[in-house]
Amino acid sequence: MRILFITQWFQPEAFYKGVPFVKKLMERGHKIQVLTGFPNYPTGKVFPGYKVRWFQKEMLDGIEVLRVPLYPSHDGSAMGRIANYLSFALSASILGPWVVKKADIIYAYHPPATIFLPAFFIKLFRRFPVVFDIQDFWPDTLAATGMFCNRIGLKMVDWYCRLSYKIANKIVVLSPGFKRKLIEKGVPSQKIEVIYNWCDDREITASSPDPVVAGEFEKTAQFNILFAGNMGKAQKLDVVLKAAEQIQHKLPQVKFIFIGGGVEVDSLKSIVHANNLTNVQFLPSCPPSQIGSVLSQADVLLVHLKKDPLFEITIPSKIQAYMAVGKPILAAISGDAADIIKTAECGIACESENTDELINAIKWFYAHPQDKLLQMGNRGKRYYFENFSMHVGIERFEKVFQSVCDCK
């Protein structure tokens, strides 16, 4: 199949459905062309070696990549984010129909939901069917994260999203909860396929250690609880800091380590400083080639999301990475993600924003021997490779793509 992949983010940005995903599809005989923007995520600054131009064509690791202009931004400013999303959507809509090759199918990756605008125009002018991959449930996510709260604006976004669901030939979602939500919005069940996310498991399991991070781990207490990834409003990590404050004298061997970046990092550091938390440490982001080694040094891996109905149908991508590395998981989250942890028997799922439950789970992990924790981690790793790996996901995507092509 000839596949046009439309995504606002692509390598060298850290994007898990990027180069490894495309190369695997190419190895299976498919021809891929990528339409994307100029790399600026997550800092909002254009990557070295790139400059925003009207159009740029490049070969990236054997993949043909077409780049169109956007307004680079990724801070806490709602206007900056809106400008970032809309600028790419408009430039890709205007230039896309003229610069892309003939394709059998369009694969459009959301977020942001604005990605459907260029997919629609290319479908309109070039007659390519569209598969919409929904990873973020707009407008619910916008309201839940506080990024955009204008009621009229949210209603307009909801109308736009409902229209995009109707126009798409097929929709892929990351969880059963997403599928239920779309059905409630009137999308036919047969139009929706659930394909769970994966991580770059080969890189994670074969990653090389970062000597600086390894040295920092050696300085910590005996029992490390690690959170890795974006630290934004949706993660609600101030709750974790409350738990850290309550147990720092009761369980002095337990230490919380946060590695990554995000708009809430400075606020979280301020809380740590104000409350003199000696059991909390922040480490900077590390490259994907080293994250597996970092995760493997923890005793327990933590995921936390704010209490919101939206997050009950969300499966944070870090869960797959945590499972692949073979470490037990403490998941303060409800719904589909919690169901996975329970089914795989690879950790403990507790209520989000519930400090008491979080502390009880930490006490449980701390009280059990390392071989018990290792068994939990191994169960998660086995479950991941049987159900969530890239190999499993690509086979399912191929079936979706083929079913759409067969209906043309």
DSSP string covering 194-239, please?
Answer: E------HHHHHTPPP-HHHHHHHHHS-SEEEEEES--SGGG-THH
pLDDT of res. 408: 67
Cα–Cα distances in angstroms (integers) from residue 312 to residues 48, 95, 251, 333, 338, in the given order:
38, 38, 30, 7, 8
Q: Are strands 170-173 and 130-134 parallel, antiparallel or unpaired?
A: parallel
Paired strand residues for 65: 34, 58
User: Is it the case that residue 203 has pLDDT exceeding 90?
Assistant: no
> Rounded to 5 degrees, what angle do the CA atoms 4, 16, 256 make?
160
Range of the domain at 312: 202-387
Paired strand residues for 64: 33, 59
Contact in structure between 301 and 331 (CB atoms under 8 Å):
no
Contact in structure between 70 and 54 (CB atoms under 8 Å):
no
Residues 237 and 352 in one domain: yes
Q: How far is CA 21 from the centre of its chain?
A: 14
Contacts of 321 (CB under 8 A, 6+ apart): 199, 204, 228, 291, 292, 295
Residues 15 and 109 in one domain: yes
CA dihedral 338, 253, 369, 226 (to 10 degrees): 30
Residues 234 and 360 in one domain: yes
Look up the pTM and report it.
0.82
Residues 236 and 299 in one domain: yes
pLDDT in tens, 214-239: 566 655 558 999 999 889 888 999 99
Contacts of 379 (CB under 8 A, 6+ apart): 344, 345, 346
Residues 206 and 186 in one domain: no
Residues 215 and 160 in one domain: no
Nearest alpha-carbon partner for 117 in 68, 74, 77, 72: 68
What is the average pLDDT across 15-31?
Answer: 92
Q: How many domains does the chain have?
A: 2
pLDDT of res. 61: 93
The pLDDT > 70 percentage for the chain reads: 93
Residues 11 and 145 in one domain: yes
pLDDT band with cut points at 50, 70 and 90 for residue 150: confident
Helix, strand, or coil (residue 108): strand
Nearest alpha-carbon partner for 297 in 213, 199, 385, 201: 213
Check residues 331 and 199 and name the one with the higher pLDDT: 331
Q: Are strands 2-6 and 31-36 parallel, antiparallel or unpaired?
A: parallel
pLDDT of res. 195: 95
CATH of the domain at 146: 3.40.50.2000
Residues 194 and 213 in one domain: no
Residues 306 and 226 in one domain: yes
pLDDT of res. 399: 95
Residues 243 and 179 in one domain: no
The DSSP result for 314-362, as a single string, is ---HHHHHHHHHT--EEEE--THHHHHHHHHT-EEEE-TT-HHHHHHHH
pLDDT in tens, 94-124: 999 999 999 999 999 998 999 999 999 999 9
Helix, strand, or coil (residue 122): helix
Q: How far is CA 94 from the centre of its chain?
A: 28
Residues 173 and 219 in one domain: no
Residues 178 and 34 in one domain: yes
pLDDT of res. 219: 58
Cβ neighbours around 215 below 10 Å, total: 9
CA neighbours within 13 Å on the CB side: how many for 200? 21
Paired strand residues for 57: 66
pLDDT in tens, 57-80: 999 999 999 999 999 987 667 788
Paired strand residues for 348: 330
Cα–Cα distances in angstroms (integers) from residue 214 to residues 296, 321, 378, in the given order:
11, 19, 22
Paired strand residues for 402: none
